[in-house]
Amino acid sequence: MPGDARRTGRPSSSIRRTYSAGSRRTSAVNDKSGARSRFTLVRIVLVVVLCAAGLKLVHVQAFEAEALSKRAEQQRTTTIDLPAHRGAIVDRNGAKLAFSVETRTLTVSLRSMREQWNEIARKHPEQGRNFQTRVAEVARFIAEKVPDKTTEQDLLRRFNKPNSFTYLVDGVMPSVAEEITEKYPEIGVEKRAQREYPGGTLAANVIGYANWRMENPDVFKHNLHGLVGLESTRDKTLAGTPGRRLVDTAQGSNSVVMPGSERELQPATAGSDLELTIDSDVQYYLQRELGEYVRKTHAKGGSAVVMDARTGEVYALANDQTFNPNDSDTLTDDLLSNEAVTTPFEPGSVNKVVTAAAAIEYGVTEPDSVYEVPDHVRVADHTVHDAWSHPTQRFTTTGIFAKSSNVGTLLLADKIGPERYMELVRRFGLGQPTGIGLPGESPGYVPPRDSWSGTTFGNLPIGQGLSMTVVQMTAMFQAIANEGLRVEPRLVRATVKPDGTRVPEPPPDTQQVVGPQTAKTVKDMLRAVTQDSSVGDHNDNGTAPGAALDGYQISGKTGTGQQIDPETKAYSSTLENITFAGILPADNPRFVVGVRLDAPDTDNAGPLFHEVASYLAQRFNLPLSDKPAPVVPLIH
């Protein structure tokens, strides 16, 4: 029955099958195969992605790790430059002439400060606080803390610049800067150093001046550097080598250093100290006495040197005026100029020491040889006169130089001859820098032999037609005082390293100018320059009896050199260089003193030498001479 058939589940013959049993089995198989293919594809893609990621990881770790690490490090670290401590400058006794102190310079990021306080004003208008009120408050506080460094008005001007950043004030002591920045965090600081000169003008022309220099684009090289004097010529020794420190900063902020994160990339190496030959007491006395003598004689200026007769060490080197390195208002060109080494002059008769040395060295004459000397002589188309009118007189060789006879000197020079004379000029170091080690040293001028005219050899032996500095002039007499051996003058005795090791300067260059016996003979002859014959003929007086010093033999030589008139460009009849160089004591030389006065109303610098020699004798307890210098005949 149909009902039975429906119950048994058999299909009725009236129901149509749309697919065969075989096709249904095939479809099922295909579905399973597609699923497997998709799964395989996904697995392949995943494998490829994982392999690519693995390869990238290997590449990063193997090839980019260092660069990425550096980049990450840079994002959270800051390099801090460490200025090197500049070495001190001390005198021969250890007294400090220049040293450095650590300071701070206050700065502000105006852009950040404006943004911060404009935002505060916008969010809290009821407080009445803004950029200008904050600036007024900060400027008032800083000016109160450093009244000697700035003013409230100057600070307000700086705060209101259109710049994004500005410096506020230099030379602030670290403790004061810390107080300011704690109260006002927007104020930044930069580490600096400041040079202190406790003596002010004392030896300023020798020491020089150094300040904080920032012109180099490399911040690493910002430091104290010298501008003039030994601060400049010995800058590398004094400056040392700056260092660098790496620190971790919070979120890349340069101002918030993470405690304990500091590590040095390069430690700063302090500079070495300079130990000078200068004696502060002698320098002070020479500066004072020279300045007073220049004022008393109404001179335009003057320079003087005190030199050790044996070693060439300079105990004092002074100009009548100099700058104060602690006072920027005095840093003018005229005061910064060190005329004792930079400004040559025609020396006049003080240069006759060359003729005297050549005449004795080459056997041309003896001290007591006698010459018929008129008061004038013709040289080519010029007539050379003595400084005073006199009949033809019988001068001794000693008298020619003690009385400073131009005519007698030229008679001796003619016997010496130009070639031998020029050889002595070279040995004395004229026309050459002395090597004293100060910037701008002039070599002076000596006309080359092939440029001479007919009158040149009528000028040079009497100190005209050539020029020299006061240091060169003094060095000539140092050679005479030192048995004919010229020693290169020097200002630095030693450097002292940061660990305290003292390193003496290399031995100075020397030049044997004349033999020891010649030097002694010339030195003895020049004692007559200070001779004062209280009995007998006044013709036996030298040109500088005022330079004599009781109890001591003194050798020396005066000089009067004509200056060039700046308007006529010819020799002036009124403008003169007045010079004196002397040896103390003549019988056992210890010091040589050289003096030059620029156009004074006196014709003699001997009295200034006397004052300086008297001080040196007392200061160093120089033994008295065994006997006075003999009074010798100068004119028969």
Active site residues: 349
Q: Under a CB-based contact definition with an 8 Å cutoff, are residues 326 and 320 in contact?
A: no
β-pairing verdict for 591-598 and 571-584: antiparallel
Please choose, from the candidates 408, 305, 394, the residue with its C-alpha nearest in 3D space to the C-alpha of residue 352: 408
Note the helical H segments in 576-626: 606-619
β-pairing verdict for 314-319 and 301-308: antiparallel
Residues 224 and 271: their CA atoms lie apart, in Å, by 11
How far lies 177's CA from each of 83, 132, 253, in Å? 18, 22, 20
Burial class (CB in 10 A: 0-12, 13-18, 19+), 415: middle
Residues 175 and 146: their CA atoms lie apart, in Å, by 12
Please choose, from the candidates 519, 537, 556, the residue with its C-alpha nearest in 3D space to the C-alpha of residue 631: 537
Residues 595 and 613: their CA atoms lie apart, in Å, by 12
Residues 47 and 363: their CA atoms lie apart, in Å, by 109
Contacts of 425 (CB under 8 A, 6+ apart): 354, 431, 446, 460, 466
The dihedrals phi and psi of 372, each to the nearest 5 degrees, come to: -80, 115
Tell me 347's DSSP state. Answer: -
Residues 461 and 482: their CA atoms lie apart, in Å, by 22
Q: Under a CB-based contact definition with an 8 Å cutoff, are residues 174 and 105 in contact?
A: no
Residues 376 and 583: their CA atoms lie apart, in Å, by 30
Tell me 554's DSSP state. Answer: -
Radius of gyration of the chain (CA): 43
Q: Under a CB-based contact definition with an 8 Å cutoff, are residues 83 and 223 in contact?
A: yes
Please choose, from the candidates 461, 462, 460, 441, the residue with its C-alpha nearest in 3D space to the C-alpha of residue 451: 460
Contacts of 9 (CB under 8 A, 6+ apart): none
Residues 52 and 375: their CA atoms lie apart, in Å, by 110
Q: Under a CB-based contact definition with an 8 Å cutoff, are residues 188 and 109 in contact?
A: yes
Q: Under a CB-based contact definition with an 8 Å cutoff, are residues 543 and 402 in contact?
A: yes
Tell me 295's DSSP state. Answer: H
DSSP-based three-state secondary structure for 390: coil
β-pairing verdict for 209-213 and 223-228: antiparallel
Burial class (CB in 10 A: 0-12, 13-18, 19+), 356: buried
Structure tokens at 517: 């016996």
Q: Under a CB-based contact definition with an 8 Å cutoff, are residues 338 and 233 in contact?
A: no
Helix pair 470-481, 352-361: axis angle to 10 deg: 30
Tell me 66's DSSP state. Answer: H
Tell me 539's DSSP state. Answer: G
Please choose, from the candidates 304, 199, 312, 281, the residue with its C-alpha nearest in 3D space to the C-alpha of residue 616: 281
